[in-house]
Amino acid sequence: MTTRIGVIAIQGDVEEHVIALEKTLVERREKGEVVKIKHQGIVDSCDAIVIPGGESTTIGRLMEREGIFQELKEAAEEEKPIWGTCAGMVLLAKEGDEEVAKTGQPLLGLMDVKVKRNAFGRQRESFEVLLKMSIFDGYFHAVFIRAPAITYATDSVEVLATLNGQIVAAKQKNILALSFHPELTVDRRIHHYFLDLG
C-alpha cells in the first residue's frame, strides 16, 4: 500500500512538515509520498492531510477561494486523518474567539471546539515546554509560536494535553489538532500517532 500525505501549501511552515512526514514514512518502512496541496483537485487523492502553522486568516481565505475547504470537509466525512498544527488548529474549529470574529476568517468547523488565537499572550510569543501528553509515556518537547488554544470542547473531543488550564492537543475521530509544532523538533511520536489514525 502506498500512503499519500497531502500538506496544505498555501502559506506557513510547509517545508518543515513535508520533511518531517517524509522521515516518518521512512521510519515506518511504508511506501509513500508527501505532496503539496496548493489547488483544488489533490485532496481527494490523499490518504491523510496536514494543515500547517502560519497565518490562519491567510491560509483560510485562500483555501476557501481555491475550493480546498469543501474538499477537506468531504475528506473528513470519509474519515481520512486530518491534522492541524497551530493556525491549522484554528481552522479546524467550529467556533473562534473575538479575534476570529473580527477578521471574519472562515473556519472549517470539523472539530467541536472553541479556539482562542494567541492564547498565551503576545509578550510571550514563543516558548518551549516539556509537555505531558495522555498518549505517551514521559514528556513531549513542545514548541509554541504565537499559539492558539482550545478553550472549550464537547464530550466527543478527546483531550490529549493541557497547558495552564487550556487544551493544547485534542482529537475527535480522525481529526487531530495541536497548538504547538512537532514538525520543528526531532521527536516524531505525534507524526506516527497521526498516521496510525488512518
Active site residues: 86, 181, 183
- Taking the mean position of all CA atoms in its chain, how far away is CA 80? 13
Closest distance to ligand GLN from the beta carbon of 179 (Å): 9
* Cell 469543501 found at: 70
183 — phi, psi (to 5°)? -75, -10
Asked if 178 interacts with ligand GLN (CB under 6 A), we say no
Whichever of 54 and 81 has its CB closer to ligand GLN, that residue is: 54
Whichever of 32 and 97 has its CB closer to ligand GLN, that residue is: 97
Whichever of 38 and 146 has its CB closer to ligand GLN, that residue is: 146
Task: Considering only residues 86 through 115, tell me which ones interact with ligand GLN, judged by CB under 6 A.
Answer: 86-87, 90
Q: Please give the grid coordinates belonging to residue 5.
A: 500525505
Q: String of b and e for 81-110 (b: at least 16 CB within 10 Å)?
A: bbbbbbbbbbbbbbebbebbeeeebbbbeb
Task: Considering only residues 116 through 175, tell me which ones interact with ligand GLN, judged by CB under 6 A.
Answer: 117-118, 145-146, 148
Torsion of CA 121, 90, 168, 76, to 10 degrees: 180
Beta bridge partners of 83: 50, 176
Closest distance to ligand GLN from the beta carbon of 171 (Å): 19
Whichever of 25 and 59 has its CB closer to ligand GLN, that residue is: 59
Asked if 53 interacts with ligand GLN (CB under 6 A), we say yes
Residues that bind ligand GLN (CB under 6 A): 53-56, 86-87, 90, 117-118, 145-146, 148
